[in-house]
Structure 1
Amino acid sequence: MELGKMYAILGPSGCGKTTLLSLLGGLDSPTSGQILYQGKDIAKTGLANHRSSHVAFIFQSYNLIDYLTPMENVALTSKLPPLPILEQLGLTAEEAKRNVLKLSGGQQQRVAIARALASDAQVILADEPTGNLDEDTAAEITAILKDSAHKSGKCVVIVTHSNELAKEADAVFQLTKGGLKLSKL
């Protein structure tokens, strides 16, 4: 996978899409084989180092710190001021100061995305980032992720059930019990 591209991984429920993201991000270790990042085994360079230096996650369940505001959640991953990126993602200054539990699901997802985009990580791993969103918001989020790859030079890897999201990717992979293979939509 390359920087500056967005990848989609499609597959049926239970086929291992989230597990694959966990392996790529160093949240889990393979029972056999290696996960290489820039030619180096992430287990040998350190899983915590890999997570903190190279990857940012957008979790399906957001994984925001629920007693913090959006600004505080984003500030955890970046030295840059959080408000500009939150505003870029459609939150107002007032919403950015509310407790995240007082936001809608779409707004919470935008905070989770802002947190990933604000980090210095070159790789963004997204688990069903549009799964809980309405069609219009999903299209906006897809465009933001695509811009992150194409304009910001990040490698964006998304696992999804959405063929609409997958059509926007530079490459689509199909995950089955038989393995991972390049797909055509």
Structure 2
Amino acid sequence: MAVIEAKDVEFHYYSSRSVLKDINMEFEEGKMYAIVGPSGCGKTTLLSLLGGLDVPTGGEILCVGKNISQLGLEKHRRDNVTFIFQSYNLIDYMTAAENVTLTSKEDPFPILEKLGITKDEATRNVLKLSGGQQQRVAIARALASNASIILADEPTGNLDEETAGEITKILKESAHTYGKCVIVVTHSNELASEADQVFRLRGGILLKEELVCEC
């Protein structure tokens, strides 16, 4: 069974401009998915709908077979999903370590260290960290969560090539080793190429892309 599913999902703004049309997709645990497409095509909107940050104007989002609106959007966000935002969304009066403890009671330092944040950096206020370091803290916070679904909006967008590659490996490990469902919105061809399945969103329609075997 899919851990999260978009069923006949549509979304339009008050202007009636259609952003998403008849989206039908299933996402499973233990896999990493990439959603690609031109800027402004609705990728982030779809991620917001899956995460319960917004409500479709048609159709429904199901988590383990249950409509998340009926389950309760706040409960869905608290128990089922964790986010990696392009704008970080860190609590700016807290340290890096304190931000990670918002999603987990476990020691925050091992996951931060794995993402290249030293113990000294982890005890600094996040505003005293670079943009790349703040992005790593945001990723650490998401990975520390017990939620089964990770929703990531351009998680490598503010990182250098080497660090982006390391983050991609960690996201894949989260899916393949720890059984998470990882759904990534990205403009990065490198990140998308590492996904188990790529979806392309164009003109409001979401389609699976055929993966080419480089044998």
> Under TM normalisation by the shorter chain, which class is it?
over 0.9
Note the C-alpha offset of 1:8. 0.2
**Larger RCO (alpha carbons 8 Å, 6+ apart):** 1
Q: Residues 154-173 of structure 1, C-alpha deviation per residue, up to 9 Å, x if partnerless?
A: 01000001111000000000
**Mapping 1:4-19, distance limit 5 Å:** 4-19=30-45
In the other structure, the counterpart of 1:93 is 119
Structure 2 gap segments, 5+ residues each: 1-26
Taking structure 2 as the reference length, what is the TM-score of the superposition? Answer: 0.84
Query: Matches of 1:120 and 1:51 in 2, distance apart?
Result: 12
Q: 1:23 to 1:178 in 2, by over 3 A?
A: closer
Q: Residues 10-45 of structure 1, C-alpha deviation per residue, up to 9 Å, x if partnerless?
A: 010000000000000000000111111111100000
Query: Matches of 1:28 and 1:173 in 2, distance apart?
Result: 21
Structure 1 gap segments, 5+ residues each: none
Letter in 1 for 2:202: T
Note the C-alpha offset of 1:62. 0.5
4+ runs deviating over 4 angstroms: none
Give the total of aligned pairs. Answer: 185
Greater helix proportion? 1
Taking structure 1 as the reference length, what is the TM-score of the superposition? Answer: 0.98
Note the C-alpha offset of 1:85. 1.0
Letter in 2 for 1:45: L
Note the C-alpha offset of 1:184. 3.0
Structure of higher CA gyration radius:
2
Contact 2:41/2:204 (<8 A) preserved:
no
Greater strand proportion? 2
Query: Matches of 2:137 and 2:157 in 1, distance apart?
Result: 15
Please report the RMSD computed on the Cα atoms of aligned residues, expressed in angstroms.
0.9
Note the C-alpha offset of 1:177. 1.3
Name the % identity.
72
Which residue, out of 167, 182, 188, partners 1:141?
Answer: 167
Letter in 1 for 2:111: I
Query: Matches of 1:17 and 1:51 in 2, distance apart?
Result: 19
Q: Residues 33-86 of structure 1, C-alpha deviation per residue, up to 9 Å, x if partnerless?
A: 111111110000000000000000000010001111011000111111111111
Letter in 1 for 2:55: S
Query: Matches of 1:96 and 1:178 in 2, distance apart?
Result: 41
Note the C-alpha offset of 1:142. 0.7
Answering whether residue 178 of structure 2 is matched by residue 152 of structure 1, we say yes
Letter in 2 for 1:6: M
Query: Matches of 2:147 and 2:30 in 1, distance apart?
Result: 13
Which residue, out of 68, 71, 81, partners 1:45?
Answer: 71
Q: Residues 110-132 of structure 1, C-alpha deviation per residue, up to 9 Å, x if partnerless?
A: 10011001111000000001112
In the other structure, the counterpart of 1:172 is 198
Which residue, out of 144, 160, 171, partners 1:118?
Answer: 144
